[in-house]
């Protein structure tokens, strides 16, 4: 999941970025409202964390501008304590939820999981299911046919992309956009490398393969891929 973190206080931003990255999120940090708007033009973020108090262009203005541009990413507003007006205005501006500062990282993570669930048409469960595959988004544990599968953070993030949109071909660029932030993504074949690892862990021991290569297009999670998987 690719997250845009908009927070002008460097220390808070760095702390949140680290905490989110430890959970496998790919995070890009913006420090002003204008930077946030520029980032959102470039990248299709899965989630946006938006502080209200920002220099120059404030968070409410950013939120309204994003919605006017038809940006539909779930937005979590960060508001100051007791600023009830901010909360109300945040929701009116098009934010999906708000969190009052100061907050615990655990609470931020729980809110983000809830927003990510709401953003999809999938059943509103923290557990993602496809065929005999099971991903628990709270514990980040993965099982296939009830057998635990150990994945690295990036492998997990790629699999999550595929599981959230089963039976649809995702291009390498689409996958990369949701899994790496701008700083860390630089190799065009990196997605293929991780897919190879995922296949070994997820599919090798099973007759029914879940991850399929669609030549010239990308990858697809499916129980019935016509096998171009070679």
Give the footprint of Ca ion on this chain (CB under 5 A).
8, 51, 53
Distance CA 7, CA 29 (A): 8
Kindly state the DSSP code that residue 40 receives in the 8-state scheme. H
**CB 16 to Ca ion: min, Å:** 12
Helical packing angle, 172-179 and 153-164, nearest 10°:
120
**CB 93 to Ca ion: min, Å:** 16
Residue closest to 166 by CA, chosen among 136, 211, 229, 197: 211
Distance CA 19, CA 126 (A): 20
Q: Which is nearer to Ca ion, 60 or 191 (CB)?
A: 60
Q: Which is nearer to Ca ion, 58 or 132 (CB)?
A: 58
Distance CA 153, CA 23 (A): 8
**CB 25 to Ca ion: min, Å:** 20
Q: Which residue is nearest to Ca ion (CB)?
A: 53
Q: Which is nearer to Ca ion, 53 or 119 (CB)?
A: 53
**CB 106 to Ca ion: min, Å:** 21
Distance CA 120, CA 4 (A): 18
Q: Which is nearer to Ca ion, 51 or 160 (CB)?
A: 51
Encode burial over 139-151: b for 16+ CB neighbours within 10 A, e otherwise.
eeebebeeeebeb
Residue closest to 57 by CA, chosen among 30, 75, 17, 27: 30
**CB 32 to Ca ion: min, Å:** 10
Q: Which is nearer to Ca ion, 8 or 97 (CB)?
A: 8
């Amino acid at each position: 999941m690719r997250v845009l973190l908009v927070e002008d206080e460097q220390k808070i931003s760095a702390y949140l970025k680290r905490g989110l990255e430890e959970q496998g999120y790919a995070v890009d940090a913006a420090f002003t409202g204008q930077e946030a708007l520029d980032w959102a033009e470039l990248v299709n973020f899965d989630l946006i964390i938006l502080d209200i108090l920002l220099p120059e262009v404030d968070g409410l203005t950013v939120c309204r501008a994003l919605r006017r541009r038809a940006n539909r990413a779930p937005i979590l507003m960060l508001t100051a304590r007791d600023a009830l007006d901010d909360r109300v205005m945040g929701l009116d501006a098009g934010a999906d939820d708000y969190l009052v500062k100061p907050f615990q990282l655990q609470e931020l993570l729980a809110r983000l999981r809830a927003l990510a669930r709401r953003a999809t048409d999938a059943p509103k469960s923290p557990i993602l299911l496809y065929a005999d595959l099971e991903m628990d988004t709270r514990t980040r544990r993965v099982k296939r046919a009830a057998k635990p599968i150990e994945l690295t953070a990036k492998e997990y993030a790629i699999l999550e992309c595929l599981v959230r949109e089963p039976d649809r071909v995702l291009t390498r660029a689409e996958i990369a956009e949701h899994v790496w932030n701008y700083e860390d993504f630089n190799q065009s074949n990196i997605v293929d490398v991780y897919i190879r690892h995922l296949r070994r862990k997820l599919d090798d021991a099973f007759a029914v393969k879940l991850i399929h290569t669609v030549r010239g297009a990308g990858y697809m999670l499916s129980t019935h891929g016509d096998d171009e998987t070679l």
